[in-house]
């Protein structure tokens, strides 16, 4: 379990670029030729975690938990299996908000604008790694845990549009309209096109 020790505003946060540069340096705990881990050590926040490849699937959750290279949690193990089953050679786990909290109820009550800005830079980097980035909407109903998450997701969607991102979901859409969370999905679950604009419009009208 990861319970945030303090508000992210009280932390000395690395910018995404600083964290990315550090992730390119040799690490004792994992192989940087296989893993992309930004920052490259366990912190109260995480921008990216995934494997390196030429054809990655970007999975978007709500917020990171305890996963790290070679120590994937059950959600990330499912993400890796589904990515492989759908023909991707790698995956990148990204989150709408970068604060670590195993229980989303422990997320901070207000959005840290600095952390959100740097998280957008992380998403921009993930999108730039493919000529036609594939993005898997995979947050379930957890989006409802904090009011600021909708605005964060809207920013991500706009950024994705600038890079020609194609959005997908896996598993049945929830009755609430949210895309299915990766946990408990069958390993051969097929990615289906997901209309992000219609989804966000529906949330706004709800």
Burial of 141 (0-12, 13-18, 19+ CB in 10 A): middle
Q: What is the DSSP letter of 15?
A: P
Mean pLDDT across the stretch 5-19? 97
Residue ranges per structural domain of the chain: 12-205
Return d(Cα 96, Cα 116) in angstroms, integer: 8
pTM, whole model, 2 decimals?
Answer: 0.96
The pLDDT tens digits for 84-107 are: 999 999 999 999 999 999 999 999
CATH code for the structural domain at 12-205: 3.40.50
Q: Is the pLDDT of residue 29 over 80?
A: yes
The total of other beta-carbon atoms located within 10 Å of residue 132's CB is 8
Alpha helices by DSSP H, the chain: 16-23, 74-85, 113-128, 148-162, 196-205
The pLDDT tens digits for 35-74 are: 999 999 999 999 999 999 999 999 999 999 999 999 999 9
pLDDT at position 203 is 86
Contacts of 124 (CB under 8 A, 6+ apart): 159, 163
Return d(Cα 90, Cα 134) in angstroms, integer: 11
Backbone angles phi, psi at 157, to 5 degrees: -65, -45
Q: What is the DSSP letter of 105?
A: G
**pLDDT-derived band of residue 4, with 50, 70 and 90 as boundaries?**
very high
Mean pLDDT across the stretch 122-132? 96
pLDDT at position 205 is 61
The pLDDT tens digits for 144-174 are: 999 999 999 999 999 999 999 999 999 999 9
What does the DSSP assignment read for 161-184? Answer: HHTT-EEEEESPPPTTSPPPPSTT
Q: Tell me if 139 sits within 8 A of 96, measured CB to CB.
A: yes
Q: Is the pLDDT of residue 184 over 60?
A: yes
**pLDDT-derived band of residue 79, with 50, 70 and 90 as boundaries?**
very high
pLDDT at position 91 is 98
In this prediction, what percent of the chain has a pLDDT beyond 90? Answer: 97
Burial of 93 (0-12, 13-18, 19+ CB in 10 A): buried
pLDDT at position 94 is 98
Instruction: Kindly list the strands in the beta sheet with 90-95, ordered across the sheet, starting from the edge strand earlier in the chain.
Output: 35-38, 48-51, 90-95, 56-61, 134-137, 166-170, 191-193
């Amino acid at each position: 379990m990861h319970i945030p020790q303090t508000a992210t505003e009280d932390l000395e946060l690395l910018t995404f670029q600083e964290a990315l540069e550090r992730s390119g340096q040799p690490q004792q705990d994992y192989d940087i030729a296989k893993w992309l881990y930004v920052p490259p050590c366990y912190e109260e926040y995480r921008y990216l975690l995934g494997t390196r490849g030429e054809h990655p699937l970007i999975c978007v959750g709500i917020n990171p938990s305890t996963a790290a290279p070679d120590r994937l949690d059950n959600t990330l193990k499912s993400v890796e299996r589904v990515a492989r089953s759908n023909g991707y050679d790698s995956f990148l786990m990204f989150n709408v908000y970068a604060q670590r909290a195993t229980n989303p109820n422990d997320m901070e009550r207000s959005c840290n604008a600095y952390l959100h800005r740097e998280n957008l830079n992380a998403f921009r980097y993930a999108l730039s790694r493919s000529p036609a980035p594939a993005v898997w909407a995979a947050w379930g109903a957890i989006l409802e845990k904090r009011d600021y998450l909708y605005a964060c997701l809207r920013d991500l969607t706009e950024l994705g549009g600038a890079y020609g991102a194609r959005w997908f979901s896996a598993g049945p859409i929830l009755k609430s309209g949210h895309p299915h969370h990766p946990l408990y999905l069958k390993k051969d679950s097929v990615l289906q096109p997901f209309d992000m604009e219609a989804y966000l419009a529906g949330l706004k009208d709800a």
